[in-house]
Amino acid sequence: MTDKQYKLATFAGGCFWCMVPPFEEQEGVIRIVSGYTGGHKPHPTYEEVCAGTTGHYEAVQITYDPERITYDQLLDIFWRQIDPTDPGGQFYDRGDSYRTAIFYHDEEQRQKAEVSKQALEESGIFDKPIVTQILPASPFYPAEEYHQDYHKKNPFRYKLYRLGSGRDEFIKKHWQKDGN
């Protein structure tokens, strides 16, 4: 297979370390890169993004095979990793760089993202409005190498961070009734 058959999906779900594991073992996901997008400064550093001066979000960019996993499936995984009602960040991480967003790469992705957001809003799972933005994809800058596959390079620190962040508790509270 050639890369021409693959597509991109870009999601901002707070800390990018936590957004890699849910996608990485999915059939049809080819590659996941942690990085920065949605801002105005070319090639930002982690420190610049965290300082809030670049306008970027921490995000993951997923290369996937649409014949093996659909964009709708990726959207479902995304929604189940975040608090879509929090406009100020995600869990332990606060600030604009930790806001949630779906960055669409074409009109079909935009429409599917809008439909999935509306369905989530109507589901009644959350008692506050869904504030996750749906935005056009913009340049994506890979994060520094030490951020790539952080959960594999630093498993103990990652587990402590993840536990302390409150993300897993939130996911369990809102999605356990689905058996997930």
Q: Is 15 a catalytic residue?
A: yes
Taking the C-alpha atoms of residue 131 and residue 16, their distance in angstroms, rounded to an integer, is: 19
Q: What are phi and psi of 103, to 5 degrees?
A: -105, 110
DSSP calls for 18-69: HHSHHHHTSTTEEEEEEEEESSSSSS--HHHHHHT-S--EEEEEEEE-TTTS
Taking the C-alpha atoms of residue 137 and residue 72, their distance in angstroms, rounded to an integer, is: 17
Between vectors from CA 165 to CA 137 and to CA 158, what angle results, nearest 5°? 85
Out of 12, 13, 14, 15, the active site residue is 15
Which residues are annotated as catalytic? 15
